[in-house]
Amino acid sequence: MQLLVQKFGGTSLQTENTRKHVLYHVKKAIDADYKVIVVVSALGKNPAPYATDSLLQLVNYPETNASDRELDLLLACGEIISAVVVANELKQAGISATAFTGAQAGIMTTENHTNAKIQHVNPKRLFRAFDTYDCIVVAGFQGETKKGDVTTIGRGGSDTTAAALAVATDAVRAEIFTDVEGIMTADPKLVTSARVLKNCTYTETCNLAYQGAKVIHPQAVEIAMRAKLPLHVRSTYKRYHGTIISSLREDKNGSKEKNKLITGIAHQADIAQVKISRKENPDYSMTAIFKAMAAAGISIDFINISPNQLAFTLPNSTLQQAKGIFKELNLQVTLAEHCAKIAAVGAGMSGIPGVASQIVSALVKHDIQILQAADSHTTIWVLVPEEKLKRAVNILHETFKLDEAIPSYF
């Protein structure tokens, strides 16, 4: 028995017409002699009545009296409704199908309500069900604790569910269906010449996801990477090749492609830069600053430490709260609001000198100020004024010649 896992997001499931595309992909897999696990998100997005954010509004979130355990009971309903609806329509189409909750599918999690982690998947009930059914529709984004409490596993949890189920059942691959054509070289809303990546490594995909690309959740990629499970990111609506995520870039003949220096450009906007100089604050304590930020629930990023200065970024939405902390700590800080972080990601740059120089030269040539920079083996980051974001991403996309053609899947 060969298994295939297919995950469909809320936009693919929001109407009966969009779900016809879901039925097409499931039927195509079954006709190819696969048993299929379909992982579903909640139907649609806010203000759709069963979307996650819509359900939260029922209890006046975030000003709610519901506990996190009770919130999980509520939130899990969205995916359960979706699973039953999809299973019903599959049966109407003549496909032998049934619906499972995450718990019924064997997903065991930690007790961190609203943000649990998958600890273990017991697939025995799934395997038994395949004696009767060709397709099992599993509610994504959820599981249960050892105590039997329902949990949800955070935003992007359905991607993680799909990867975990595929690994536990030794599936051939997990297919992540979305409303875009695959993982792209840049955000097409900013770069009109952005193209779908035919192949991408696990590491590159994780880095792109963590740096702002939102096609697939990085935790799902990490689960797949540990098990060497191929992931296939595809469009629900268009019959293109999409993106294969694996250990190596391979062409259709199985030979490894020559790595480009840069695979893709990701970005995060609406952030602020904080600089704290030793000259103005001779006695500041980095430990005290980081502890205060953590205690306030403020996530800081892009940290640069030198003997004379500490620099980091934080979301603009937390800036007023952060200013209060700086005042309490008696710190004089320099702020740059409305910044954007750009990440150039590529396994091909590892060990190759001069890539950072190319990035800096290209941006400086076009009068784009670099507020901060850092690099690793496979990623180079720059911080720029947000008003220059679109121009900067386009310049880097052009500099590294990322606009190659999209291949057809059929």
The three-state DSSP-derived secondary structure of 158-227 is HHHHHHHHHHHCCCCCEEEEECCCCCECCCCCCCCCCCECCEEEHHHHHHHHHCCCCCCCHHHHHHHHHH
- No. of H helices and E strands in the chain? 12, 18
132 is in an annotated binding site: no
Q: Which helix (H) or strand (E) holds 275?
A: strand 264-277
Q: Return the pLDDT at 250.
A: 46
Give 3-state DSSP helix, strand, coil % of the chain, rounded to 5.
Answer: 35, 25, 40
398 is in an annotated binding site: no
| Radius of gyration in angstroms for the set of CA atoms belonging to the chain, rounded to a whole number | 23
52 is in an annotated binding site: yes
List Cα–Cα distances, 203 to 32, 35, 291, 346, in angstroms: 31, 29, 30, 9
**DSSP per residue, 12-61:** HHSSHHHHHHHHHHHHHHHHTTEEEEEEE--SSSTTSTTSHHHHHHTTTT
354 is in an annotated binding site: no
The token pair at 90 is 């599959």
161 is in an annotated binding site: no
User: Which residues of the chain fall below pLDDT 70?
Assistant: 248-259, 404-410
How far apart are alpha carbons 308 and 327 in whole angstroms? Answer: 20
Helix spans in 228-318 (H): 286-295
Q: Return the pLDDT at 253.
A: 45
Task: Find all residues with CB under 8 Å of 49, minimum gap 6, and list them.
Answer: none
Task: Find all residues with CB under 8 Å of 390, minimum gap 6, and list them.
Answer: 190
List Cα–Cα distances, 341 to 241, 309, 313, in angstroms: 30, 19, 9
List Cα–Cα distances, 137 to 116, 153, 170, in angstroms: 21, 18, 17
Q: Return the pLDDT at 249.
A: 53
Cα three-residue angle 30-35-135, rounded to 5 degrees: 85
Q: Return the pLDDT at 30.
A: 97
Contact of 298 with 318, CB cutoff 8 Å: yes
7 is in an annotated binding site: yes
150 is in an annotated binding site: no
Q: Can you list the domains of the chain with their CATH numbers?
A: 2-179 (3.40.1160.10), 264-399 (3.30.2130.10)
9 is in an annotated binding site: yes
